[in-house]
Structure 1
Amino acid sequence: MKFSVSFAILAGLVSRIVAAPVNNAPFLVTINDTEHVIGNSIWNITIGQTYGTKLYYKGKDIVGNAVGHYVSYNGAASNLNWTSVSVFERTETYLDVSFSANEGDFHWVIYPNQAGAYQYFVNRALPILGEFRSLFRLDNTTFFNGKTDIKEGPLPTLTQIANSTKVQDETWQQADGTYITKYDWSAFIRDQKYYGVYGPRYGSWYIYPGKDEYNGDQLKQELLVHRESATGDVVQLNMLHGTHFMASSSDAFEVGKTWGPWLWYLNDGSFEDVSKKSDNEENKWPYSWFQSSTNYHSRGSVSGTLKLSDGRPASGAAVFLGDNHPNETTLDMGRYNYFTAYADSHGSFTFTNVRSGAYALQAWANGGSIGDISTTFLQNDVTVTKGKQTALRSLIWKTQSRKQIWQIGIMDRKSLGFLYGGAPHQHALVAKCPANLTYTIGSSVESDWCFGQSALGSWDVSFSIPQLKSNSSAVLSVSLAGYSSGVSDSILMNGVVVGNLTSANIPTDPCLYRSGTTAGEWHYFEFGVPAATLKEGLNKLSFQCTRSTLWHGFMWDSVILEWA
């Protein structure tokens, strides 16, 4: 339904709504065919054919001269244009307003006394895509700061950006040599309890307790907030399907696929308040009021215990429920719904509130006592039924079953433990890693190995073999936490080439040149080391960088040499 009133009456009504609402009821007011006002007594926003502007909260327009709210895909290439607006549902407790575009319907669920609204999107005809997002671009005289789970504080100013030299996409070098880049405001999306932007009297936040619909696994990263460099707008991003730190993720979606609901929440900028609100939303999820997705309330649970084939419990393993019989990596999956967990010290894990369906269960080492395991566990056809617990038994994870000679870095798909590994996001950090490095097994420590290799030179591993058996060959396992193209290595054992890491043959992700310090997209390689290349006594393994590109290269996870 729509409200229909005369223009004169409507003009006065809108004026009163914007200036001083007099009751708590959520509302939709249609001004004309392409302009509508929604809100309640606490806030209201005027939404045009594409953009939501004139966002009034606590007596102030907190969009101001910024672009406002909109929904788009494939970056900013395709903004959704609203062709119709209607009341999708009105109950005694809330109003659900649907803005329809050719691609689908974006909903605002408004409660009488809530500062903000639940939002969700139902797909109708989105194309195959990589990026799909909703976002606010807000007033830069109201919001000055950003906050994620790992970073908070002032956003760079437009003046700072204007007085700096652009060195790559959305990255500038200041006169003192330091860098400004929006990618410093990236984080692991599934770790976010809440995030947003704030100023002295205002805060705008996203709270997304479910995260079912996010693409990717535990290591899925996204840009969350930033300063728009062309206009100075303060940007609050909701990357529903993102690719900022991935080699690829292009997906087709079923008609009816739903993202959300999540809560867009307004307050006075208080972390304590939004944290409490986030806890409340977590306790209410899955939302009992939400009825617009056919399988949203059809949920069960999955539990099990993983044991390695050598008898050890899979302590601390990362566990993932994703596409059944997969043909993509866990990070690249994005068509359906995904669930993440970690095993406890006994290898036991539990997934709750899993949507009904068939999944593949995957697991991989997340460091700790199983940080020497390079294999991945996979079990297909895990069926989840509404109201039932799926108990998985006899989950035996087959290891590589090889005797280790040495290992540098634990297997966890991250650069943690290495020099600069896991440091706060910082552009060009890889340039601080040496061109030449010697790591001596038995005396060097993990932090002597830098998190990334980028420059022309050689990284050598010196190690001793007291005694060789006849025809003793080895396997070299190289695990990369990420890779940005344009850098190639030749791998030599005592001067003999045993393998290579070549730019043209490794899918590239932007981790190193977009401020990543922990992970990008994981890659794993095994290279045979013939017995003839090894010798008793001192040996040298070399990663010789033969091609270099500034700020690009290899982000290391682990290097393992084992007897074949």
Structure 2
Amino acid sequence: MKGILAAVAASLLASVCIASPVERATGPFLTPIGDQTWLIGNDVWSMTQGPTYGVKLMYKGRDCVGEAVGHYVSYNGAASNLNWTSASIIKNGTYKGVTFIDVLFTAAEGDMHWVIFEGQHGAYQYFVNHHLPTLGEFRTLWRLDNTTFPNGHTATKDEELPPLSEYLPQNKVQDETWLKPDGSGYITKYDWTSWTREQDYFGVYGDEVGSWYIHPGKDYYNGNHLKQELMVHRESSSGDAVQLNMIHGTHFQVSSSDVFPDGKMWGPWLWYLNDGSRTDAAARWEEELAEWPYAWLDDADYQARGRVSGKLVLSDGRPAANASVFLGDNNPTKTALDMGSTYYYTGYADEDGSFVFENVRPATYGLQAWSSGGKLADVSTTFLQNDVVVTAASGGSDDGETELGTLTWAVSPRKKLFQVGEFDRHSNGFLYGGAPWQHALVANCPADLVFRAGCSPVSDWCFGQTYKGNWTIRFKVKEEPAAAPRDPTLIVSLAGYSSGTSSTIYANGQVIGNLTSGAPGLASDPCLYRSATAAGEWRYFEFPVDTGLLKKGVNEVTFQVTRNTTWHGFMWDSIILEW
């Protein structure tokens, strides 16, 4: 809150530049100005909120929306915008000596809150569900003046948004994707994607004004560590600078169709205005992180928090060093990435396998863990423990502490004949794997490839396979296969898969399985054709290999793509043959 207190001192100077009626304001306000129309703001900024859209955002003497659409809340893409039927101040408060109001806008689906402090450059926002339908996408967003906000910023990308003049209809190649006029590459909004749970601050900015979203708490997001979402972009139909707040998204998933309980809260997050300085926005992120969970929010469920800790040890005695850990649905029926009805927590174990989740909402969770590569690169199994009960701290010495102790994670006891790539649910390490988001990168991967296990560097294997052709792994078996007590198993771990491409799998020329578009486990996620290079939705397959198919000496496993679709196919994580 240091940023709020410092802003009070600057508010007198800022208010000189802001148009009436904010010039006359002495603190945060909500003023009805017509039928289903209100003016909200404080002594620094103001916005005119209509039944759907917030427009005329006055800050630093200018209208930051201009001819753009403004602020709105919607679900299932742009199909359903929320319509506000009433507005009221539900709380007048003071926090650390600074006054604030909580303004509630009501809609049939739920309540949108704007918490506005005196002197604050922006406002806190949160949404409480009451009647949202089963859905995949839910978002708030600003569509702002394209001349005031020419640049975009995420944790992984910072540059000028493409000019609208380059979006030529004759060059459109697919959904929100165009060939550049000079033919040098592509323009697509999906290049502005970033990892949701690693995000600090993101937004659009110019030389004089910046508009940012800061989410210090992320437990209301759907998905796990692999969750990635579109953050900012240029609106192709109008040129608006878009600051997109995907608080429940599906842009890179197979599906996320969730039912939300009454009272599910997204937020609060901070919508922050400044002079366009990224350094200032970064500093504000640190301040907000230190303040979360926010003490000013008078909500018992929000304030109730517990703590979960434990230690993961593999069944072979190794500590689960740097493993990904996740608190999600109890007795899960969905993948960790597809979960989204309630609240979710992500983290990583330390070098000795110890992990801690702080500020967890009370509930019963399922704890999952999986390899993040490194010292666990060969671990193909997933840990799951259900019935992790979290209670809220109430002042006692052990209140709110869920100590799980040492947990044993069973790993495969079998011997590996070869492994291509670290098992980490990402394409990292392969050629182009983990490159910045960019469209059509998979087109640079070859149609045919030969990889010599134990000799070829991992980077010889490309991150994605899309063309018709054969990708072959050659490997040596040093002992007679007949001596093996059990048949080998080929493990195929995919970091993602986009439908329309099918593969037949061979061992020494004999079919041992297939990866067929539309088959169980191979529903499409949009990773490869929407600019992702590291992950989409993780898939895991096991194919038995008859021992009689192998021989002492050099053997081959081949993935033969027999049907393909442009920019669609397989994004690799790891391939393991073990017995």
TM-score category by the smaller chain?
Answer: over 0.9
Deviations 1:354-403 (A, max 9, x none): 11111110000000111101100000111111112111113000002111
What is the Cα deviation at residue 22 of structure 1?
A: 3.0
Alignment partner, residue 8 of structure 1: none
C-alpha contact 1:130 1:243 (8 A) present in aligned 2: yes
For residues 51 and 413 of structure 1, do their structure 2 counterparts lie closer, same or farther at Cα, with a shift above 3 Å needed? same
Alpha-carbon distance in 2 for matches of 1:21, 1:250: 46
Alpha-carbon distance in 1 for matches of 2:181, 2:459: 31
Alignment partner, residue 561 of structure 2: 545
Alpha-carbon distance in 1 for matches of 2:20, 2:527: 44
- 2:226 aligned counterpart, secondary structure: coil
Alignment partner, residue 467 of structure 2: 455
Alignment partner, residue 197 of structure 2: 190
Alignment partner, residue 535 of structure 2: 519
For residues 90 and 17 of structure 1, do their structure 2 counterparts lie closer, same or farther at Cα, with a shift above 3 Å needed? farther
Work out which of the residue numbers 263, 267, 270 in structure 2 matches 1:256: 263
Alignment partner, residue 60 of structure 1: 62
Alpha-carbon distance in 1 for matches of 2:419, 2:457: 11
Deviations 1:264-291 (A, max 9, x none): 0000111111111111111110000112
C-alpha contact 1:471 1:531 (8 A) present in aligned 2: no
Aligned length: 548
What is the Cα deviation at residue 174 of structure 1?
A: 1.6
- 2:302 aligned counterpart, secondary structure: coil
The two structures, once aligned, show a CA RMSD in angstroms of: 1.2
What is the Cα deviation at residue 88 of structure 1?
A: 1.5
- 1:215 aligned counterpart, secondary structure: coil
Q: Does 1:508 align with 2:508?
A: no
What is the Cα deviation at residue 20 of structure 1?
A: 5.0
Alignment partner, residue 422 of structure 1: 434
- 1:314 aligned counterpart, secondary structure: coil
Alignment partner, residue 500 of structure 2: 486
What is the Cα deviation at residue 162 of structure 1?
A: 2.9
Q: Does 1:203 align with 2:210?
A: yes
Q: Does 1:158 align with 2:164?
A: yes
Work out which of the residue numbers 227, 234, 241 in structure 1 matches 2:248: 241
C-alpha contact 1:21 1:40 (8 A) present in aligned 2: no
Alignment partner, residue 7 of structure 1: none
C-alpha contact 1:19 1:59 (8 A) present in aligned 2: no
Alpha-carbon distance in 1 for matches of 2:403, 2:350: 16
What is the Cα deviation at residue 442 of structure 1?
A: 2.1
C-alpha contact 1:123 1:254 (8 A) present in aligned 2: yes
- 2:303 aligned counterpart, secondary structure: coil
C-alpha contact 2:507 2:557 (8 A) present in aligned 1: yes
Alpha-carbon distance in 1 for matches of 2:160, 2:68: 18
What is the Cα deviation at residue 58 of structure 1?
A: 0.4
Runs of 4+ with >6 A deviation: none
What is the Cα deviation at residue 24 of structure 1?
A: 3.2
Superposition pairs of residues 273-312 of structure 1, within 5 angstroms: 273-292=280-299, 294-312=300-318
Alignment partner, residue 440 of structure 1: 452
For residues 528 and 190 of structure 1, do their structure 2 counterparts lie closer, same or farther at Cα, with a shift above 3 Å needed? same
Alignment partner, residue 317 of structure 1: 323
Letter in 2 for 1:110: I
- 1:81 aligned counterpart, secondary structure: coil
Alpha-carbon distance in 1 for matches of 2:556, 2:481: 18
Alignment partner, residue 397 of structure 2: none
Alignment partner, residue 266 of structure 1: 273
For residues 197 and 16 of structure 1, do their structure 2 counterparts lie closer, same or farther at Cα, with a shift above 3 Å needed? closer
Q: Does 1:470 align with 2:482?
A: yes
Superposition pairs of residues 522-537 of structure 1, within 5 angstroms: 522-537=538-553
Superposition pairs of residues 361-376 of structure 1, within 5 angstroms: 361-376=367-382
Letter in 2 for 1:512: L
Alpha-carbon distance in 1 for matches of 2:434, 2:401: 37
C-alpha contact 1:70 1:79 (8 A) present in aligned 2: yes
Most deviating of 298-307 and 83-92:
83-92
Superposition pairs of residues 103-114 of structure 1, within 5 angstroms: 103-114=109-120
What is the Cα deviation at residue 130 of structure 1?
A: 0.2
Which runs of 5 or more structure 2 residues have no equivalent in the other structure? 1-16, 394-399
Alignment partner, residue 3 of structure 2: none
What is the Cα deviation at residue 149 of structure 1?
A: 0.4
Alignment partner, residue 50 of structure 1: 52
The share of aligned pairs that are identical, in percent, is: 59
Query: TM-score scaled to structure 1, two decimals?
Result: 0.96
Deviations 1:73-120 (A, max 9, x none): 000000001111111111242111111110011010000111000000
C-alpha contact 1:164 1:174 (8 A) present in aligned 2: no
Letter in 2 for 1:558: S
C-alpha contact 2:481 2:551 (8 A) present in aligned 1: no
- 1:281 aligned counterpart, secondary structure: helix
Alpha-carbon distance in 1 for matches of 2:324, 2:442: 27
C-alpha contact 2:465 2:571 (8 A) present in aligned 1: yes
What is the Cα deviation at residue 318 of structure 1?
A: 0.1
C-alpha contact 1:18 1:44 (8 A) present in aligned 2: no
Alpha-carbon distance in 2 for matches of 1:295, 1:30: 31
Work out which of the residue numbers 80, 89, 92 in structure 1 matches 2:91: 89
Letter in 2 for 1:476: L
For residues 16 and 550 of structure 1, do their structure 2 counterparts lie closer, same or farther at Cα, with a shift above 3 Å needed? closer
Alignment partner, residue 33 of structure 2: 31
C-alpha contact 2:144 2:240 (8 A) present in aligned 1: yes
Alpha-carbon distance in 2 for matches of 1:533, 1:110: 70
Alpha-carbon distance in 2 for matches of 1:469, 1:368: 30
For residues 362 and 25 of structure 1, do their structure 2 counterparts lie closer, same or farther at Cα, with a shift above 3 Å needed? same
Letter in 1 for 2:383: F
Work out which of the residue numbers 134, 144, 153 in structure 1 matches 2:150: 144
Alignment partner, residue 78 of structure 1: 80
